[in-house]
Structure 1
Amino acid sequence: MTNRSLDQAAQAAGIALAFTNALGKKEAIRDETKQALLAVMGNPQTQKPGPLPPAVVLRGNQPRCLLVAGSGHFHWQLESEQGKQFSGEVLAGTELPLPKRLAQGYHRLTLTQGKKRWQTQVIIAPRRCYLPAALENGGKRWGALVQLYTLRSANNWGVGDFGDLQQLLQQVGAQGGDFVGLNPLHALYPASPAFASPYSPASRRWLNVLYIDVAQVDDFQHSKAAQRWWQQAKTRRALEQARASEWVDYPAVTALKITALRHAWAQFSQRSAEDEQQQAFALFVQQGGDSLRYQAAYDGLQGELRHGKADFCGWPDWPEAWQHSQTAEVQAWCAAHEDEIAFWQWLQWLAQRQLAHCWHVSQQSGMSVGLYRDLAVGEAAGSSETWHDPELYRLKASVGAPPDRLGPQGQNWGLPPLDPHVMQARAYQPFIDLLRANMRDCGALRIDHVMSLLRLWWIPAGGGADKGAYVSYPVADLLGILALESQRQRCMVIGEDLGTVPREIVSLLRNSGVFSWKVLWFEQNQDGRYRQPEAYPEQSIASASTHDLPTLYGFWQAGDLQLGDKLGLYPGEAVLASLYAERAKQKQALLDALHLAGVMPARSAKQAEKLAMTPQLNLAMHRYLAQTGSALLGLQVEDWLGMTSPVNVPGTVTQYPNWRRKISVPLEAIFDDATVKRLLKAVSQVRGK
């Protein structure tokens, strides 16, 4: 293949030939990278296109007509989502006008020519995503940001759960807050509990069953066997150890919860078919379909096939005959283990019911947003989703980020990319299903790395992250579907747009009503000064930090730099010294901004190096954030309590116990703390203005 033909093939497949690097310079993609990615994709352009694409998305005032390709005459028939029928004839090369006043939604268009038949999904979408009435006309709201597993309480079993979330919602609402923002609640790996990153899930459509509050499960309370186990001294000791642990002990928590829930399942299974809960569960299973069945089968099989192996044992480590959900061996196992499958389906039902109750509590508390959920950028390579539907993923590649200042070698997140060509061929149904699953029982959805709607950095297997390339996604279509589902589910959308953001996505997100994310540490002008609160755009959520960044106390005390040095993350003393020097400049710039905004006492220190981190300085930072023009403000519980240790240290795997650090104060005591109450009262007063 000549260089020209290689470039043409790459462009046709959506592979960018160059990109703008972290220094702002254009950098060409290597030929070997283009060849490798074309091989990964399996030459997507070889399939002969039909007269219309599998899906057409029309938004706002776009012309309601479709250009028909091919040759000859076609008969067309349109069935609207509401069941109305329309039909006619159309000549290839001309436009097919759609019926006037075709409602927003999903409509099925069929073209026939002799015995040939083609189907297109016509999607009529709104221009913008949903916005709660409370945020219209300059309304401002604040809420708490929490990694749910970090919560301590007198009732949980060593990991924060949906019972804790209910209590947190009530407490935040009582303090004037409007929402609780969560980490991804996606399904993980009960058979490999130490594999705990919420951003490398088994499935983004199903829930992490460890968040079930066992005490709220009726059949646990009514089971004599469960209660005997519950009263055993051994059980009580294990529970107290899990609660008292400084870090979440996932293996211990999982062993306790799964044992308890198996007892409860035995009790539930004795209910009659006419029982109300049995009927609700049966409907849940029916609606969940194959997706739920094979998520449950995966959970059961992983426990059986792990055989005491190391922390993680996904399907790529299984015998070849078990590496796909549709093999004869897997089907035979499923037929012989229907009760095991039903058990894991039941856990998903319990988790969904408890999350729905949390949403109900938020609405009872008068919250306009209530809950916002977090959608990870992908599933892990050894996930249940890639096991059940490998054709949707390019398993010989992973996504990440090109080299930049923070990651000179680039980043490889170990997540296989969704194939945009397969998504289009399936009329975007995988994307639609994903949105519907994650917009349930919440008022907002945060999309991690929202730039993935436009492009993703694909890295061929075996290569470094610096040997990748950007692959484009059908951003206009995806944003249209996002807006449609957002309006239907009454769920606003927040886009995590931190890092290198391509110019073309900024206006697309803004015009689609997707909220931007503004993190205090990054809101600096080119001269190093921090932007004043009024400069924050209304269509955004502001926060001090994120789960990947230091807390307020950690930032001011440079605890993150000390930890990074301890973990060996910096290549030499010179790099560390430059980071400390940069931090000193940031602290001074931030202190100057606090004084300029009038949130610091006039007589307080003007030199950052002479000012220790205190509750007073913490309050000033929160008042500064409360003044921002952002419609939403997310505050981390860690910052209320003056915590310094992070929940995650990017660039580490085993060096630091990521996703395990608990909140330092039990949930029951947080809102009794006078300093916390004073801080939240100040925030509510400022946001109320």
Structure 2
Amino acid sequence: MTRSELDKAARKAGIALHYLGVDGSTTEVPFQTIKELVAAIGPAIFDEATATPRFDLDGVIASVTHTCFSPDWLRDTRVWGIALQMYELRSERDWGIGDFEDLAAVCGIAASAGADFVGISPLHALFTADPNRCSPYSPSSRTFLNPIYIAVDRAPGYSYASEDGEAKTSVRLSENVDYDAVQRLKIETLRVAWSNWRRDFSRNDEFSRRSFNAFLSGEGEALRRHALFEALSHEMAAKGLGAGWRSWPEKFQHPGSVEVTAFAANHKSEIEFHQWMQWIAHLQLKDVAARAVASGLRLGLYLDFAVGLAPDGSATWSNPDAYLHGFSIGAPPDPFSIHGQNWGLAVPSPAPHQQESGAVADIRRVMQYAGLVRFDHVMGLWRLFAVPEGRSTSTGTYLHYPFAEALNAIAMESQQSQTVVVGEDLGNVPGGFREVLSHVGMHSYRVMYFEPEISTERLEPMHPQSLFCISTHDLVPLGGWWKHDDIALRHSLGLLDESGIAIESSYREALRSALWLHLFGEKMQSTNVAKTEALQQAIHSYAAGLDSKLFAVRLADLLGDERPTNVPGTDTSYPNWRLKALCPIERWRTLPTFTAILESVSAKRPRSDRAGSLDGRL
């Protein structure tokens, strides 16, 4: 294939031959990368008729015929909610990690304070055979749920006598989430519950065998393969071969192989157990969603949808043709990350017939539980930066997807499920992209730390069609941010050099000084740097008063926690996705900071049907 022929094939396949950096510079993509991407995509390349809209955002707008759902009452009002990590929840009944019953309790507290949603990080299935692969943004499957969040003591067949009380006490008292111990404890107890449930097929309620069979029939082959993967994963991990399929013997790397078929025939009971756990997780999350709305949260649950998948998990094993092997998702070099980023996620195939098995199909499952859904890195619906495995990110390029088709499908699903959609559009956002989101009725995602308007005299309006928050799971909570704790931490971990410290500190000072002036009408003095309850309350009141339709309050801020949830760029040097909340749910109402912040937010975004003081409602 000549270079001219290769370039033509690449354009038809959605492969960028060059791309613009954040500084406006143009990067030419290496010939070898283009050649390998064309070969990986294979003959299922787009025709000429669909090529232009995938690169041209104006063409996308012209092709979008549907818009996302928005309730009538949201048109003339601004609402708020609480955002948290599921695993961080602590309670008097927890098993070392938050669960669906704890989430229901939080929904009740939030509703009583006048909120309209409770948001959590992705609940996608991870690797039960390797619990320490705990990042919710690197899931094994986005189709199914993480069974570690099952409220074991609410599962059918649960027996208090089967509990390991000593182990339960140990994981409950651990400083951080001990995923190995929690997973082992919960699965052992669930196995007993499952065995008890199987002996009682006479039930005639939501936990009946008939209900389970209906679930199996509805989920079909996708669930069978996921459960088969989980059973194999445990088998291989026990042999020291790892939980991910890429480290397995070649004969087990394909779901249709003779060896895998034989394994399935010999492990029917184990496969059914993993199917049963998915059923219980589904029923419990569905119940929480219903209770959230019944408690008064008009939007109910606010769920997150990860941008990608682990390359060696259930999804890529179950449907290998839907992903491009030899590449991973990342980001190109830029002034803030001079070497670029490799996120280690699988690259989905852009072939049209594969899209139904990708994000669009999976979002349908997430929306069944949620009144509000956020797409992590929503730019990924249009393009993803594909990096050749084993090579630097500078050799990568953008791979474009049938964006208009995806937006139309998501909008239709949004209308069908009556789910509001948020697109996380942070980072290197292409010109015109936010206009596309607005056109399709998606809300933008804005973070106070990244809003330069705040450092000017401009206070509002600020992005009305958006979800606004002070910080996210990848950023330090407000108290630590105000004191520059995150800059010091990242420097100590080798993530910032001296020049980086100077740049970030300078921007931080400008933003802090502007906030102080806005809030208190005077210049900030050097003695005004410590975190105080008054400062927390004032900043939340200011943020809640902006024009965004949606505002999310971070649980860490409500509890006075200053530790970051996750420090991007670290693995074992920081306890990412493991930190527990500073106190159990039952004590939240006694915390002055908790009450003060919610009072101030509720005052700026009041609900006419929720009059009265916060103290009286809590």
Question: What pairs with 1:316-465 in structure 2 (closer than 5 Å)?
Answer: 316-421=246-351, 424-426=352-354, 428=356, 430-465=358-393
> In the aligned structure 2, how far is the partner of 1:576 from the partner of 1:180?
34
- Deviation per CA, 1:396-443: give whole Å up to 9, x if none: 11111111232111111111111111xx12573544421211111110
Summarize the alignment of residues 267-666 of structure 1 with structure 2, pairs less than 5 Å apart. 267-272=196-201, 275-276=204-205, 277-307=208-238, 309=240, 312-421=242-351, 424-426=352-354, 428=356, 430-525=358-453, 529-530=455-456, 532-571=458-497, 573-592=498-517, 595=518, 599-600=519-520, 602=521, 606-607=524-525, 610-666=528-584
Q: Which deviates further from its counterpart, 669-678 or 446-455?
A: 669-678
Cα distance change of structure 1 residues 201 and 61 upon mapping to structure 2, 3 Å threshold: closer
- CA drift of 1:271 comes to 1.7
Residue number in structure 2 paired with 1:247: 176
CA distance in 2, matches of 1:435, 1:6: 34
Question: What displacement does 1:215 show?
Answer: 1.1
**Counterpart in the other structure of 2:70:** 131
- 2:10 match: 10
2-structure distance, mates of 1:350, 1:507: 41
- Report what 1:266 is aligned to: 195
Conservation of the 8 A alpha-carbon contact between 1:432 and 1:481: yes
- Counterpart of 1:98 in structure 2 is none
CA contact (8 A) 1:179 1:370 kept: yes
Which position in structure 2 is the counterpart of 1:168?
106
Tell me the amino acid that sits aligned with residue 168 of structure 2: L
Note the C-alpha offset of 1:237.
2.1
Question: What are structure 2's unaligned runs of at least 5 residues?
Answer: 51-58, 608-618
Structure of greater Rg: 1
Cα 1:38/1:569, change in 2 over 3 Å: same
Q: Is the 8 A contact 1:533 1:629 kept in 2?
A: no
Contact 2:65–2:408 (CA under 8 A) maintained in structure 1: yes
CA displacement 1:367-413 (0-9 Å, x = unmatched): 22110111101110111011110000002111111112321111111
1:363–1:22 distance in 2 versus 1, CA, 3 Å:
same
> Which has the larger share of strand?
1
Match of 2:610 in 1: none
- Distance in 1 of aligned mates of 2:301 and 2:504: 36
Distance 1:670 1:143, change over 3 A: same
Aligned to 2:95: 157
> Helix, strand or coil for the counterpart of 2:460?
helix
Judged with a 3 Å threshold, the aligned counterparts in structure 2 of structure 1 residues 444 and 575 are, in CA distance, closer, same or farther, namely closer
Give yes or no for contact 2:61–2:404 (8 Å, CA) kept in 1: no
Using the alignment, how far apart are the partners of 1:619 and 1:193 within structure 2? Answer: 37
- 8 A Cα contact 1:22 1:403, kept in partner: no
Q: 2-side partners of 1:426 and 1:578: how far apart? A: 43
- Whether 2:162 is the aligned partner of 1:229: answer yes
> What SS is found at the alignment partner of 1:254?
helix
CA distance in 1, matches of 2:604, 2:217: 48
CA distance in 2, matches of 1:388, 1:60: 31
One-letter code of the match for 2:397? A
* C-alpha distance after superposition, 1:295-338 (max 9, x if no partner): 1111111111112638x531111111110111111111111211
- The AA in structure 2 aligned to 1:685 is A
CA contact (8 A) 1:371 1:444 kept: yes
Q: Counting helix residues as a fraction of each chain, which structure ranks higher?
A: 2
State the distance in 1 between where 2:176 and 2:99 align. Answer: 15
Query: Aligned partner of 1:187: which letter?
Result: A
Q: Please, which of 57, 65, 79 is the counterpart of residue 141 of structure 1?
A: 79
Change (3 A) 1:60 1:16: closer
1:535 Cα shift? Answer: 2.5
Tell me if structure 1 keeps the 8 A contact 2:61–2:436: no
Whether contact under 8 Å (2:12, 2:47) holds in the other structure is: no
Q: Is the 8 A contact 2:560 2:593 kept in 1?
A: no
Q: TM-score, normalised by structure 2?
A: 0.92
RMSD: 2.3
Q: Is the 8 A contact 1:203 1:385 kept in 2?
A: yes
Q: 1:249 to 1:3 in 2, by over 3 A?
A: same
User: Could you say which residue in structure 2 is the equivalent of 1:197?
Assistant: 135
Report if the CA contact (8 A) 2:69-2:418 is conserved: yes
User: Structure 1 residue 627: deviation in Å?
Assistant: 0.5
What's the counterpart of residue 53 of structure 1? none
Please state how far the C-alpha of 1:273 moved relative to its aligned partner: 5.9
2:347 and 2:112 map into 1 onto residues whose CA distance is 42
Q: C-alpha separation between the residues in 1 aligned to 2:481 and 2:456?
A: 15
| Structure 2 partner of 1:76 | none
Equivalent pairs, count: 597
Distance 1:585 1:609 in 2: 16
Amino-acid identity (%) = 37
Of the two structures, which has the highest relative contact order with CA contacts closer than 8 Å and spacing of 6 or more? 2
- The answer (yes or no) to whether the contact 2:131–2:179 under 8 Å persists in 1 is yes
Change (3 A) 1:19 1:62: closer
- 1:458, 1:469 within 8 Å by CA — same for their partners in 2? yes
Summarize the Cα distance change of 1:530–1:373 in structure 2 as closer, same or farther, 3 Å threshold.
farther
